[in-house]
Structure 1
Amino acid sequence: MDSIFPQYQLNRTIFAEGTEHLFFSGTAYLGISASSEFSAYLKEGIDIYGTNHGLSRINTVRLRVFEEFEIYFAHHAEAQKTAVYSSGFLAGHAVVSLLENKADAIFVAPHTHPAILSAAIQNQIDPAHNWIDSCIKFANQNEGKQILLIANAVDALKPEIHDFSWVRALSKNNNYTLLLDDSHAFGAVGEDVFGTYKRWKELPVDLVISGSLGKGLGLPAGIILGSHEFIRELTKQSIYRGASPPPPAYLWAFLQSQEIYRKQQQKLKDNIQFFKKLSQNLDLQTTKEDFPVFRFDDANLLQKLQEHQIIISSFPYPSPNDPPVHRIVISAWHEKEDLLALVKVLKI
């Protein structure tokens, strides 16, 4: 599928070669970037804080909105503490650079996002081994080890929402840290928009969650969630102390927009349920729990959608030489008539 370069914001439709197309791609699961209500709060936030804040968080001039955002997010995610960064990749790099040096052994799930993998860890990954079996075997054969488990909470390409309940069965003779990337979970998985921390916080591990807020939540920022002690240690790093934070206007707008987020998440859930019912007899791969991604393998179907002015996600993965992964991505910005039009073409 050829690249498209629109000159305006993404929404439920975009123009390609002068023709309007329905748009079922991207990661704007809640459609926040196209919300006029959120934009109004954002403009107000810019009037208050300006377009950016170039001072680091440890400077003598500090804005309270960063801490207010962190406290609010931690409370609703049911984490002890959070730290906000300017991107999910920076947050991931910060957290893994701290954790990998403390680990005696590291086990990595397949297709884990490189944001939470250092170069050294990537070089150690053996795709021929089952990471869960390898972890269980190592844990049973050792005592007193610091074991680091790394995975995505959600595989948005497969798609799959991962289950980490198997960790409960690990030997109690070691200490475990579970690092999850929640980038595709924020806004899209669970009862609220705050990700999977509360889902896994009772596991017998030190739980750390990192991720981008730029997908479902539409914020140019990253975040790390964990214990008081871990976040305090994290914020002593130069990567935190010397880096500029995200634009404060977005964080302020988020705090003012909780009703908007609740409304958009409910609309996303309604859209997913509606599309599932319409497409239940089609050969689409999706998750048992609601998630807004539906995958198919038929290249002819991709061509048919393009002929009917419908754009979906399609690109080679994981390497440029691999076959394209074809995915339909549902968003809260879609209307029922969009989904009906999509299914009509899928059934031709």
Structure 2
Amino acid sequence: MKEPLDFKSIPQPFSNRIVLNGNSYLYFGGTAYLGIPQNQEFIDFYLEGIKKFGLNNGTSRNNNIQLGIYDLAEQIAAERYKSEAALITSSGYLAAQLTVKALASFGEVIHAPASHPALWLDKQPSSKGSFQYWASETIQMINSSSSKNWVLVSNSMNNLFPEVYDFNFLKAINVDKQLILIVDDSHGIGVNHKGLGSYSQLPKQENIELVVVASMAKALGVDAGLVLASGQIIKELKDTSIFVGASPPAAAGLFAFIKAKEIYAEAQEKLNENIRQLRAGLGSTWDYAPGFPAFLSQNPKAGEELLNKHILISSFPYPDQNSPPINRIVLSSWHSYIDVEQLIEAVKDIEDGI
């Protein structure tokens, strides 16, 4: 009897290929957009970091004895992503929760539709509809309200139905309103806007305080969370009990992050090549956001049909288990030219009914 496939118990690191039951599958899923988990030069830096700093650091960031690499990594992150200051935590979820809970008291809080659960205060926000509809409603709500202080919370993009959000609608909000804009850029940082992510793209206005939170575990390949903001906001966040009480990420990962500027740049160049190659070969039944490496199929059977050709893509029911699957190709820098060509040929076959 043929052994059933269990893709939820993969016994190896993710890469461009996955071997299961003796069969090899091309893998086009996940969030390792820059292929960092399989980048040997990055791994070597990580190992060097382990030798320098050990496996982990379980002490609080306010301990009287500190590793200097945390302050250095925050300085490098701020410089790299064009913010005044930065804060690094042990996870993207912690970075988001810390930020939203600390800043929510500034004013009335409005969440954009589909905001990541890490951005929720206590329960799921009620916002529905498209980002564009929400933006229009938010302008009207704030401008017509007597309240002066507002906190807007949103993802930087929708990575499932690929769309990078445009926040220039904020320019239509009356300048006598004071806003804090909190944007989760977990899927964009290191990829979108030439790798800079969303912070440098957000509207710069005197009445808007910009804050970006992100997981560093996706494109950047480091198990840590990041906050980019003004020096004043970062100081306020570092004074919170959540930040003071939490252990930091492993110093070795941050050592590799500091050393990896050229690695990230080269990986992004390779990713962009893969995106151009796939865009040229795909038909019109796939949706994408320019520059982002996810491609959404309108065919609900695309995942199943590609699996029959030994190609694994991201495929799961959404928004609930009774929904039809969302089928997405997700490219990474670890994919070769031949990998992408094989994918294009397989997609053409299923579109032609072969």
Q: TM-score range by the shorter chain?
A: over 0.9
Q: 1:42-79: per-residue Cα shift (whole Å, max 9, x none)? A: 11100000010111111111011001000011012111
Q: Which residue of 1 aligns with 2:141?
A: 138
Structure 1 portions without partners, runs of 5+: none
C-alpha offsets along residues 99-131 of structure 1, whole Å, 9 cap, x if unaligned?
21221x2222111111111115x35x2426942
Tell me if 1:56 matches 2:60: yes
1:85 alignment partner in structure 2: 89
Letter aligned with residue 97 of structure 2: H
Label 1:135 to 1:201 Cα distance change in 2 as closer, same or farther (>3 A). closer
Alignment of 1:234-245 (within 5 A): 234-245=237-248
SS of the residue corresponding to residue 312 of structure 1 reads strand
Please say if 1:202 is aligned against 2:175. no
Hey, what's the Cα distance between the residues in 1 that align with 2:324 and 2:22?
29
Give the counterpart letter for 2:317 in structure 1: P
Which string of whole-angstrom CA distances, capped at 9 and with x for unpartnered residues, describes residues 217-270 of structure 1?
Answer: 000000111111111011111110010000000000111121111110110011
- The list of structure 1 runs, each at least 4 consecutive aligned residues, that deviate by more than 3 angstroms after superposition, is 1-4
Residues 257-285 of structure 1 show CA distances to partners (whole Å, capped at 9, x for unaligned) of 21111110110011101111111x34101
Q: Verify the 8 A CA contact 2:302 2:327 in the aligned structure 1.
A: no
Greater shift in the superposed pair: 245-254 or 4-13: 4-13
In 2, the alpha carbon distance for the partners of 1:28 and 1:128 equals 29
Partners of 1:90 and 1:322 lie apart in 2 by 30
The alpha-carbon deviation at position 81 of structure 1 amounts to: 0.7
CA contact 2:89–2:249 (8 Å) conserved in 1: yes
Quick check: 1:317 aligned with 2:321?
no
**Matched AA of 2:332:** S
SS of the residue corresponding to residue 286 of structure 2 reads: coil
Between the aligned partners of 2:61 and 2:8, the Cα distance in structure 1 is 38
Distance 1:332 1:223, change over 3 A: same
- Counterpart pick for 1:100 among 93, 98, 104: 104
Q: In the comparison of the two structures, how many residue pairs are matched?
A: 342
Q: CA deviation at 1:3?
A: 3.5
TM-fit CA distance, 1:5? 1.9
User: 2: CA distance between counterparts of 1:53 and 1:95?
Assistant: 22
Q: What is aligned with 1:266?
A: 269
After TM superposition, list the pairs within 5 Å mapping 1:59-70 onto structure 2. 59-70=63-74
TM-score, normalisation: structure 2: 0.93
Cα distance in 2 between the residues matched to 1:320 and 1:77: 38
**Bigger mean CA deviation after superposition, 155-164 or 137-146:** 137-146
Please list the CA deviations of residues 185-215 of structure 1 after superposition, one character each: whole Å capped at 9, or x if unmatched.
11110123x4211111524511000010000
Which residue, 178, 184, 189 being the options, matches 1:186? 189
SS of aligned partner of 1:347: helix
Q: 2:178 aligns with which of 175, 180, 187?
A: 175
Match of 1:285 in 2: 287
Matched, 1:25 2:29: yes
Superposed CA RMSD in Å reads 1.6
Distance 1:100 1:144 in 2: 14
Secondary structure of the residue that 1:232 maps to in structure 2? Answer: helix
CA shift for structure 1 position 173: 2.3
Residues 148 and 177, structure 1, Cα contact 8 Å, conserved in 2: yes
Secondary structure class of the residue paired with 1:299: coil
Look up the SS of the partner of 1:119 in the other structure.
coil
Partner of 2:345: 344
Contact 1:154/1:160 (<8 A) preserved = yes
Distance change >3 Å, CA 44–CA 147, structure 1 → 2: same
Q: Distance in 2 between matches of 1:136 and 1:184?
A: 26
Equivalent of 1:156 in 153, 159, 171: 159
| Residue pair 1:25, 1:330 contacting (<8 A) in 2 also | yes
TM-score, normalising length: structure 1 = 0.94
Paired residue type of 2:257: F
Q: Structure 1 residues 274, 135: closer, same or farther in 2, change over 3 A?
A: same
In 2: Cα distance, 1:174 partner to 1:299 partner:
45
